[in-house]
Amino acid sequence: MSKEKIDEIVEVKDDFLKNYPNWRKGQALFNAIFYIDQDVGNKIRGSQIDPFHRDDMIDKCMDFLQSA
């Protein structure tokens, strides 16, 4: 995935966290990924790197995005 697209995901994630302060970081990250690229979101959903329910997967998920 391009650096520009990853930057866009991070920007959307940050916006989600501002607008939905009760969301966890992993939840916001997954939702941002899905918002920007549903195909990638579907690949991540339910996988071992899905950060939605596990903030400790954020780094692994970001590594995956950089290699995708």
pLDDT digits over 22-32, tens only? 999 999 999 99
* E-state strands within 18-61: none
pLDDT tens for 8-56 read: 999 999 999 999 999 999 999 999 999 999 999 999 999 999 999 999 9
The Cα 65–Cα 41 span in angstroms is 10
Question: What is the per-residue pLDDT for 68?
Answer: 81
The Cα 43–Cα 18 span in angstroms is 26
pTM: 0.95
